[in-house]
Amino acid sequence: MKYFYIILGTVVILVIIALVIILPPHFEKKQKQRDRSLGCLQYRQMLKESENSYLLNPNGKKWVRESMAAEGLRKDFGCTDVNNG
């Protein structure tokens, strides 16, 4: 019975190590695929529009609406936040 626990513990440790090695590149690949999607392209365009609107009129509300719309697109499509890397 003692050997069973040793083998089981070894298998669990090997599975954990395999997951630590395999999962991060998999998630990075999926994020890059999302960032190339049409929704993320729309997010970046809307963010650029809000930045341009801010430069034209920092006190206006148009840039606020556009930035809120861009944030909604980012969340909906799971895009990488352009402002935070």
- Residue spans of the domains in the chain: they are 31-77
pLDDT in tens, 1-51: 889 999 999 999 999 999 999 999 999 999 999 999 999 999 999 999 999
Q: Which long-range contacts (CB under 8 A, 24 or more apart) does 41-45 make?
A: 42/73, 42/77, 43/70, 43/73, 43/74, 43/77, 43/79, 43/82, 44/79, 44/82
- What pLDDT score was predicted for residue 85? 54
- What pLDDT score was predicted for residue 2? 85
